[in-house]
Amino acid sequence: MFPLFYIIVSLLVVLPDVYIRWVCLRGMDLGWWNLLFWAPLAFFVFLLVMYFAGGPQPFVFKGMVSAILCFTVPKLLFCIVSIIGRAAGYIAWDSGGSEVLRGALTGGFDVAGIVLAGCFLVSAVYGLTYGPKRLEVREETLTFEDLPASFDGYRIVHLSDLHACSYAAPGLIEKLAATVNDLDADLIAFTGDLVNSSQEELDPRMTAALSSLRARDGVYSVVGNHDYCEYHDYAAADGAARAFAEVVRRERAMGWRVLMDSSAVITRPAVSDNGEPERRQDSIYVIGVEHCGKPPFGSRETCGGPFTGCRRCFSRRILLLRMILPPYILPRPLRFS
């Protein structure tokens, strides 16, 4: 689908191994250790073959992420530091320095690269194994001068990038749902990437847990690039479109309101200056924009449409926008005042 993207990723996987084997380990007989050295690259090639052959996508996705975080990135970090060290050593030697100084710089930077790569590996392993189990609630307060008094203290829980199969471990998605419900939200906003690549990730256990999410004004969601189910090969030309339609159908079956370049209005009885309710209604708008981003992720939003009919000032609108940004994978409640 994105040949240039795959070429770049493949080069980032292969080149560090080439550099380490034929520059840092040049002349060394690794014997049987050669098998261990090339095993991560062989695993990556195996995953690529599985992907293009239409293998089990959750397994391929998890394997790719794990291989890149645990092997590719640490090796890249080592190579960058090592190359800097060799360049510094060469410059020092070319400027009249001794071979001892050159060797010390090269060796010192190699050690620093190993330490840096090791630290990243430890953090990656922690993130992959224990990270999804750690739920942290962070609160932020948003203040608007012209917010209707009836919405003072309005509480929003923001969720994003669940990637359903990442929460497949027993009890994990149930724990997340219970954590969100304990926040007593007025509205839950989910901003995309409910699945990795397939509607099948929304199995009965997953949908049951997500259906249990409760907020006074309901759950509103937009779709992300993964929800279009395009990171998958299909026998039929409309396979991705049908899978995407099923993802949206299952979201709506869970009681979520999916906004795709559309909007909704939430009303409250207006409150007078003395705190008494009035007959008129105050309102805020929830606007959902489809995924927008740069290649290879594409953009689908048509920003004019969802604003139609939203006549009030912009600060009375809640914009649910899906972009390629650092994902918020933890509950993030917002309070309006």
Predicted confidence (pLDDT) at residue 90 exceeds the cutoff of 50:
yes
Half-sphere exposure of 51 (CA within 13 A, CB side): 17
Together in a domain, 115 and 192: no
Together in a domain, 152 and 32: no
Q: Which of 76, 102, 129 is the last residue of a domain?
A: 129
Q: Sorting pLDDT into bands at 50, 70 and 90, what band is 276?
A: low
pLDDT value of residue 9? 82
Q: Identify the domain containing residue 228 by its residue range.
A: 138-336
Together in a domain, 122 and 211: no
Together in a domain, 144 and 123: no
Together in a domain, 163 and 70: no
pLDDT value of residue 52? 75
pLDDT value of residue 312? 47
Predicted confidence (pLDDT) at residue 316 exceeds the cutoff of 60:
no
Instruction: Give the pTM.
Output: 0.75
Domain count, the chain: 2
Predicted confidence (pLDDT) at residue 268 exceeds the cutoff of 50:
yes
Together in a domain, 245 and 198: yes
Q: Which of 69, 96, 129 is the last residue of a domain?
A: 129
Together in a domain, 96 and 143: no
CATH at 200: 3.60.21
pLDDT tens per residue across span 128-176: 888 877 888 889 998 888 888 888 899 999 999 888 887 877 888 999 9
pLDDT tens per residue across span 12-25: 899 999 999 999 88
Together in a domain, 106 and 167: no
Together in a domain, 199 and 320: yes
Together in a domain, 98 and 15: yes
Together in a domain, 264 and 189: yes
Q: Which of 95, 129, 163 is the last residue of a domain?
A: 129
At 107, which amino acid appears?
A: G
CA–CA distance, 337 with 335 (Å, rounded to integer): 7
Together in a domain, 125 and 164: no
